[in-house]
Amino acid sequence: MNRRASLKLAAAAGMAASSSSILAQEKPRPLRILILGGTGFTGPYQVRYALSRGHKITLFNRGRRPQDWPAEVEELTGDRDKGDLKSLEGREWDVCIDNPAGLPSWVRDAGKVLAGKVKHYVFISTVSVYRDSSKPGRDESTPLENYEGPDAMAETRQTLGANMALYGPLKAESEREAEKQFPGITTIIRPGLIVGPGDETDRFTYWPVRIAKGGEILAPPADDPVQVIDARDLAEWTIRMVEQRTLGVFNACGPEKELGMGKMLEEIRSGVKPEAKLVHVTTEFLQKQKVMPWGDLPCWVPGQGDSAGFSRTSNERAVKAGLTFRPVATTAADALAWFNNQPAERKSKFRAGLTEEREAEVLKAWGERK
Q: Is the pLDDT of residue 223 over 90?
A: yes
**Cβ 146 vs Cβ 171: under 8 Å:** no
pLDDT at position 368: 95
Are 222 and 149 part of one and the same domain?
no
Q: Rounded mean pLDDT of 219-237?
A: 98
pLDDT at position 1: 36
Nearest-angstrom CA–CA distance, 331 and 243 = 25
Structural domain for 206, as ranges: 197-227+258-311+327-370
**Does residue 11 belong to any structural domain of this protein?**
no
3-state helix, strand, coil in the chain (%, to 5): 45, 15, 40
**Cβ 40 vs Cβ 97: under 8 Å:** no
Q: Is the pLDDT of residue 42 over 60?
A: yes
Residue 282 DSSP class:
-
**Does residue 2 belong to any structural domain of this protein?**
no
C-alpha distances out from residue 44 to 57, 179, 232, 233, 237, Å: 11, 26, 9, 12, 14
**Does residue 243 belong to any structural domain of this protein?**
no
* pLDDT single digits (tens) 303-325: 999 999 999 999 999 999 999 99
* pLDDT single digits (tens) 115-162: 999 999 999 999 999 999 999 999 999 999 999 999 999 999 999 999
pLDDT at position 14: 43
Most confident of 182-191, 267-276, 361-370: 182-191
Domain boundary among the residues 191, 209, 235 is at 191
Q: Rounded mean pLDDT of 198-211?
A: 97
Q: Is the pLDDT of residue 11 over 60?
A: no
Domain boundary among the residues 167, 191, 215 is at 191
Are 87 and 146 part of one and the same domain?
yes
Are 284 and 148 part of one and the same domain?
no
Write the single-letter amino acid at 272. V
pLDDT at position 25: 53
User: Mean pLDDT across the chain, nearest whole number?
Assistant: 92
Nearest-angstrom CA–CA distance, 78 and 63 = 8
pTM: predicted TM-score of the whole model, two decimal places: 0.91
pLDDT at position 370: 65
Domain at 167, CATH number: 3.40.50.720
* pLDDT single digits (tens) 335-358: 999 999 999 999 998 999 999 999
